[in-house]
Amino acid sequence: MKRILVTGGCGFIGTNLVKRLLSRGDYVIALDNLYCSDISNSEIFQDNPNYLFLNRDVRDSFDDIRVDQIYHLAAPASPKIYMKDSIYTLDTIVKGTLNALECAKKNGARIIISSTSEIYGESQINPQNEDYNGNVQPMCLRSSYDESKRCAETYAYCYYKQYGTDVGVARLFNTYGPYMSLQDGRVVTSFIESYINKEPLYINGDGNQTRSFCYIDDLIDGLIAYMDSNISGEAVNLGNDSEITINTLADVFMDIVGEKLRIEYKAAVENEPYIRRPDLSKAQRLLNYSYKAALRDGLKNTLDYFEKNYKKDEE
């Protein structure tokens, strides 16, 4: 039985990953300070003897934990949350990654660092492949997240080169699904929150900006395939390579709920990238990864999850 540490293990991706690893029979330690998640995501697993929750902060060393593998996910991930306290964001991503790499080094463990498509910034190429170096501003509202993730990647590369640490960097693109936080301000949850509260769908800008929405189950497949591979010292994109506008997302959403909803357009968010689509050929070649979930199915599962949980809160 492997001992696997998931930092940020109570967040959206963390909870889905913990669930999958436990179902596979691993021993899983979820480390999280609950900065932007809820203890209820840990309580789901509390009766499982192979699960341990540690309420700890990745900004402090955690190399006392004995592990074989580490998925390093801890970070405030939604713009609404990471912009609230930029210094916290910088510290968590930079120091947290350093501590995660130290933990891996001390244990001789394999580690996957979660990076982001945001390291490509306002991309001048589409789709974005791993050789593109990005177009990122060091001084703007999004910089605390984008630049610290770039620094996290550099830490990963340097640990690989200097200490031989067995590390992979996963560049994650927009992902959605059950166990997201309804109030995190990301577009899928924002639509669902509006629908549940009978409000209009809010869209920033003209809605012609594009995103490629990845359903969580595919992302978890990709992360586990990466961990179980022997690919080290590399960055690999993971996500969905089919791109749609936010207006199209709204149309599909209305189709699923079977209602014509009012759309309210708001000011575009400063420095928000206009296009976003991963080139997945490296993931396909190295990890045999390809995206599978249909948008309609993923959105329906996510909506069902929130409707069920919303009703629970109401009772």
Which residues are catalytically annotated? 145
Contact call for residue 298 and ligand NAD (CB under 6 A)? no
Residue 117 DSSP label: G
**Which of 6, 28, 58, 94 touches ligand NAD (CB under 6 A)?**
58
**Which of 2, 26, 34, 309 touches ligand NAD (CB under 6 A)?**
34
Report the distance separating Cα 109 and Cα 101, nearest Å.
9
**Which of 5, 36, 104, 119 touches ligand NAD (CB under 6 A)?**
36
Nearest approach in angstroms of CB 293 to ligand NAD is 14
Report the distance separating Cα 226 and Cα 112, nearest Å.
8
219: tokens are: 């992302």
Residue number with CB closer to ligand NAD (187 or 198): 187
Nearest approach in angstroms of CB 84 to ligand NAD is 12
**Interaction residues for ligand NAD, span 246-285 (CB under 6 A):** none
Question: Measured at CB, which residue is nearest to ligand NAD?
Answer: 11
Piece of the chain touching ligand NAD by CB under 6 A; list 54-62, 189-197, 202-210, 297-305: 54-62
Buried b (16+ CB within 10 A) or exposed e, 60-99: eebeebebebbbbbbbbbbbebbbeebeebbbbbbbbbbb
Q: Which helix (H) or strand (E) is 6 found in, with range?
A: strand 3-7
**Interaction residues for ligand NAD, span 102-131 (CB under 6 A):** 114, 116
Residue number with CB closer to ligand NAD (37 or 190): 37
**Which of 59, 80, 106, 300 touches ligand NAD (CB under 6 A)?**
59
Contact call for residue 302 and ligand NAD (CB under 6 A)? no
Contact call for residue 32 and ligand NAD (CB under 6 A)? yes
Q: Do 131 and 190 meet the contact criterion of CB atoms below 8 Å apart?
A: no
Non-local (6+) Cβ contacts of 162 within 8 A are none
Q: Which amino acid is at 209?
A: Q
Provide DSSP, 204-218: ETTS--EE--EEHHH
Residue number with CB closer to ligand NAD (220 or 287): 220
Q: Give burial (CB, 10 Å; 0-12/13-18/19+) of 259.
A: exposed
- Map residues 160-179 to x or -, x wherever contact with ligand NAD holds by CB under 6 A: ------------x-xx----
3-state secondary structure of 36: coil
Which residues are at the interface with ligand NAD (CB under 6 A)?
Answer: 8, 10-14, 32-37, 57-59, 73-77, 92, 96, 114, 116, 172, 174-175
